[in-house]
């Protein structure tokens, strides 16, 4: 196999989401089979996803996450509005999608409009619109394996249910007795707020939004890629009662994220006034990134 660049192990930033659809088909998606959403049989793409997770699993250590938090959570890189952030995300088009050609804004709107059509509260609609905005990390030169991908706790044993878990064998935390036990540095049912997650767009956006959105929205943003828990139930021993309650919202959100992509593009011009008012209701004019 031809080696991929360490900074570009995926052909496109969305390939990990496409891989999710194949790994976690949802039986309650309006009667559609997973093949009706995306059909990926290109072995080269499968190899690029594996390379992505190889790098992710080797380098996402407790120390790595701590350094990223120290560097990025000062929010001193750029101040911009949500709309400026979304304009940047529009450059991340999935050129290799065999079914549809959607930029990030269209994906966000398809997610949020499906939530709105089902009559959910406006904060839930806004969460659908915002959930991937943390991918602006790419603007600051972060490699894809430190922006997207399934997330998982660091500081304790890596579950073998995490996708491509075999690559954790080369992660130094796997052989560190401080971190390689069931609880590691944590205590039973300590609560996920006390657990450090792998670094990426989920945690980054959560930290930006934590003073503005309702708690269920913050759980969705922070844990929507934590498949080892909300699909595999592998880390219940770290969760407290509040986590269990809030994860019902995470589970409710997941199908909207994965299964609302369709060939009909949202009418951005018609929808934008509604979302401008919704953003204004919950968020300040600009945010620090």
224 in a domain, yes or no? yes
Other Cβ atoms less than 10 A from the Cβ of 248: the count is 12
Let me know if residue 56 belongs to a domain: yes
Residue 9 is assigned to a structural domain of this protein = no
Model pLDDT, residue 21: 61
Note whether residue 100 is domain-resident. Answer: yes
pLDDT of residue 260: 73
At 224-276, the pLDDT tens digits run 999 999 999 999 999 999 999 999 999 999 999 887 766 678 899 999 999 99
Largest CA distance in the chain: 56
Strands 287-288 and 79-80, sheet pairing: antiparallel
Separation of alpha carbons 84 and 70, rounded Å: 24
Write down the pLDDT at residue 259: 75
Provide φ and ψ at 147, rounded to 5°: -125, -50
State residue 95's pLDDT score: 34
- Taking the C-alpha atoms of residue 50 and residue 52, their distance in angstroms, rounded to an integer, is 5
Which residues 6+ apart lie within 8 Å of 30 measured at CB? none
Residue 20 has what pLDDT?
A: 59
Angle at 49 (CA atoms; ends 135, 259), nearest 5 degrees: 65
From CA 232, how far away is CA 220, in angstroms rounded? 17
Q: Is residue 10 part of a domain?
A: no
Quick check: 17 pLDDT over 70? no
Conformational region of residue 188, where left means phi above 0, alpha means psi within -120 to 50, and beta covers everything else? beta
pLDDT digits (tens, 9 = 90+) for 163-199: 999 999 999 999 999 999 999 999 999 999 999 999 9
Query: Is residue 2 assigned to a domain?
Result: no
String of DSSP letters for 77-133: S-EE-HHHHHHHHTT---TT-SS----HHHHHHHHHHHHHHTT--HHHHHHHHHTTG
Q: How many whole angstroms separate alpha carbon 205 and alpha carbon 208?
A: 5
The count of structural domains within the chain is 1
**Looking at the predicted structure, is the pLDDT value of residue 96 above 50?**
no
Residue 49 domain flag: yes
Residue 1 inside a domain? The answer is: no
Range(s) of the domain holding residue 207: 15-288
Partners of 80 in the β-ladder? 287
The more confident residue out of 110 and 4 is 110
């Amino acid at each position: 196999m031809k080696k991929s660049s360490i900074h570009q192990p995926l052909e496109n930033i969305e390939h990990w989401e496409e891989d999710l659809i194949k790994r976690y088909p949802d039986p309650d998606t309006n009667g559609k089979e997973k093949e009706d959403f995306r059909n990926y049989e290109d072995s080269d793409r499968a190899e690029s996803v594996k390379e992505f997770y190889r790098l992710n699993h080797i380098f996402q250590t407790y120390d790595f996450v701590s350094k990223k938090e120290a560097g990025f959570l000062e929010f001193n890189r750029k101040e911009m509005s949500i709309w400026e952030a979304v304009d940047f995300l529009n450059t991340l088009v999935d050129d290799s999608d065999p079914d549809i050609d959607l930029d990030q804004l269209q994906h966000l709107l398809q997610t949020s409009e499906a939530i709105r059509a089902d009559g959910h509260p406006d904060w839930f609609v806004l969460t659908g619109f915002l959930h991937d905005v943390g991918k602006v990390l790419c603007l600051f030169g972060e490699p894809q394996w430190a922006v997207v991908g399934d997330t998982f706790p660091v500081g304790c044993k890596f579950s073998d249910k995490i996708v491509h878990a075999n690559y954790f064998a080369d992660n130094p935390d796997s052989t560190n007795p401080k971190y390689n036990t069931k609880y590691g540095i944590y205590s039973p049912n300590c609560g996920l707020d006390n657990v450090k997650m792998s670094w990426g767009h989920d945690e980054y956006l959560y930290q930006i939004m934590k003073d503005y959105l309702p708690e269920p929205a913050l759980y969705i943003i922070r844990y929507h890629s934590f498949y080892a828990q909300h699909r595999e139930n592998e880390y219940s021993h770290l969760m407290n009662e509040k986590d269990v309650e809030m994860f019902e919202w995470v589970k409710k959100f997941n199908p909207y994220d994965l299964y609302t992509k369709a060939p009909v593009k949202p009418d951005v011009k018609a929808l934008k006034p509604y979302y401008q008012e919704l953003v204004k209701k919950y968020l300040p004019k600009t945010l620090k990134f």
